[in-house]
Structures are given as structure tokens and as C-alpha cells.
Amino acid sequence: MPKNPYTLIAIDDQTTAIEEKRLAFQCLCYLLTGKSHALLIDTGFGLGDLAALVKTLTDKPVWVVNTHAHFDHIGNNHRFPRFFLSRAEEEVFQRHTDPAYLWRLSAALIPLPLRLLAHSTLDRIYKPKPLGIKTGIDDGYVFDPGGRSVEVVATPGHSPGSLCLLDRERRPLFTGDTLCDWWVLLNLEFCAAPEVYGASLERLSRLAGAYDRIYPGHHGFPVSRDRLEEYRACVRGILTGTIPLKPRGKGAAAALYASYGEVLIALPADFRRFKSGELPVEGGGIPKKEQ
């Protein structure tokens, strides 16, 4: 029997962080309860039965909203009757629910020993299975679970349909992989150009008066506001050529890393092709934390 991968961390009396963690896998989901419904932000890798866990926390009907459709954010969607996802994320969603695609992606992303481990996990999780009702949402969509409203803020970059969720009353901002404490990847298939990601960061900066704390999809939380400024500076440095880009990896795993302060942005090795309107290639390595 695999060990329970979940740890609960109370944020306030109606908001709970759910950390899913096993070996190299770590992801953060959040449960926001209202008077009539509960809103679950992301469903992780799917290493355990998240729906059963959520049932112990609320008896309200649960809406799932995914910050984006990468496999480590949608892994437990099938255990819920309904989920919401950006309309701009459809292509990513199709890929990341296709086991054959995930094998190829893991070959580009994960070193061999971990990949063997990941394959047995992914094989168990991503066998095709029926999903619940999917509803496409856009920027400005508001969830009303009763007594609180949670607004969608579109932040393309890490993926075309990446979104943040802003609770205007309680003032947390949930950022998925758009803003994490340590690194942000722009080197995966379908990631947007640094300019697009930079525009999303500028938007989060303009919205700064509307939130007090930042809750990401990975690493620690809450994320310091300093990180937002560092990511903004990092993107500016990439675009102006004032931050050196360090290459790492070979072939499909080749990537460039730009660091500023405590943060790091990974780009595809050929990211300059963005400027001519071409899409990035599949793959790119996972950066190690720089000492």
C-alpha cells in the first residue's frame, strides 16, 4: 500500500492547502469552501485519491478549476464530476491526457533512474479513463461558491491558458506555475514567448493592491512579493540581453537558464525563434536549484 502522499495545511477557516508529495514529485492544490460549494484549485499528479481526502474536509459539491493542463495539475480530475479549464488550454489538455505523449515528454524531461520510477507511477495514473464534464473559461470568469467570489486572471506564459485565481474578499492570489518561489519553466511545448509571460507578470504587478499573499503550484508558500519583482526583472534582462543565459543539457533536453536574485527562468535553447513567430520545440530540462 503506497504511503499517503497528502499533507493538509490550513490557510484560514475556509481555505486549505493540500500538498501532494512523494520522492521527486511535489505539487500544491488548494480547497476553498463557500456556503454552497467548494472550489478545488488543481488536482496534482494523482498519486492518491484526492476526492476521498476532499470528502473528509467538506460535504459541499466540489468544482475543480485547473490553473493549467500540465499532467501534474490535472492528475486527479477524473475523480470529480466537473472541472473548469481555460479555453486557451485545450491543445495542452489533449496532449497531457495522452499517455503516449507523456512517455515522450518524460523522456525529454526526466533523468533515466527517475524516469523508470516515473513510468511505473505515470502508467498507473494515466491509463485512459473517463473524465467529468469540462467547462471552458476565460479571463474575468467569477466562481461564486457562496459568500466568496474567486476571479480568473488569465496569465499566459508557462502555458497558453495558464490562469491565476484571485479571491477578492480574503485576498489570496493562487498562481499555479505562473509564479513559483524558485523557478518558472518557459521551455516546454506550447509555452509562450518571454514577452507574453512578461506581460502577464506586469498584469499581476498592476493587480498587487488586490492581494496580500501568493500561493503557487509548487515549492514553498506563500511566495514573497519580491519574487514577482525578480521574475519581472529577469524577463526584462532576457529581452534586453543584459542577463547571461546559461546552457544546460543536450538534444531535446537542451535549455537555457536565466537567473536573477532568487529566481530562475528556463527557456528552450532556440527561444530566439519566438521573435520570428515560430513555436518552441518539445522538451527542455528541469533545472536544478542553483547554489
Q: Which stretch binds Zn ion (CB under 5 A): 40-48, 65-73, 122-130, 132-140?
A: 65-73
How many residues form the binding site for Zn ion (CB under 5 A)? 2
Nearest residue (CB) to Zn ion, 70 versus 78: 70
- Smallest distance, Zn ion to C-beta of residue 66, A: 10
Q: Which three cell numbers stand for residue 168?
A: 477578492
Q: Which stretch binds Zn ion (CB under 5 A): 44-52, 70-78, 121-129, 270-278?
A: 70-78
What's the CA gap between 208 and 212, in Å, rounded?
A: 8
What's the CA gap between 21 and 15, in Å, rounded?
A: 19
Give the chain's end-to-end CA distance (angstroms, integer).
36
Report 170-189 residues binding Zn ion (CB under 5 A). 177
* Candidate residues 70, 79, 95, 148; the one interacting with Zn ion per rule CB under 5 A: 70
- Smallest distance, Zn ion to C-beta of residue 224, A: 21
Nearest residue (CB) to Zn ion, 17 versus 38: 17
Nearest residue (CB) to Zn ion, 33 versus 187: 187
Q: Sheet with 255-260: list strands edge to edge.
A: 183-185, 263-268, 255-260, 246-248
Whether the Cβ atoms of residue 87 and residue 137 lie closer than 8 Å to each other = yes
Q: Which stretch binds Zn ion (CB under 5 A): 69-77, 82-90, 200-208, 243-251?
A: 69-77
Nearest residue (CB) to Zn ion, 71 versus 271: 71
Nearest residue (CB) to Zn ion, 177 versus 230: 177
Whether the Cβ atoms of residue 40 and residue 83 lie closer than 8 Å to each other = no
| DSSP one-letter string for 240-281 | HT-SPPEEE--GGG-EEEEEETTEEEEEETTGGGGGGTPPPP
- Smallest distance, Zn ion to C-beta of residue 173, A: 17
Query: Closest Cα partner for 65 from 94, 38, 45?
Result: 38
Residue 95 as a binder of Zn ion (CB under 5 A): the answer is no
Element (H, E) at 14: none
Residues making contact with Zn ion (CB under 5 A): 70, 177
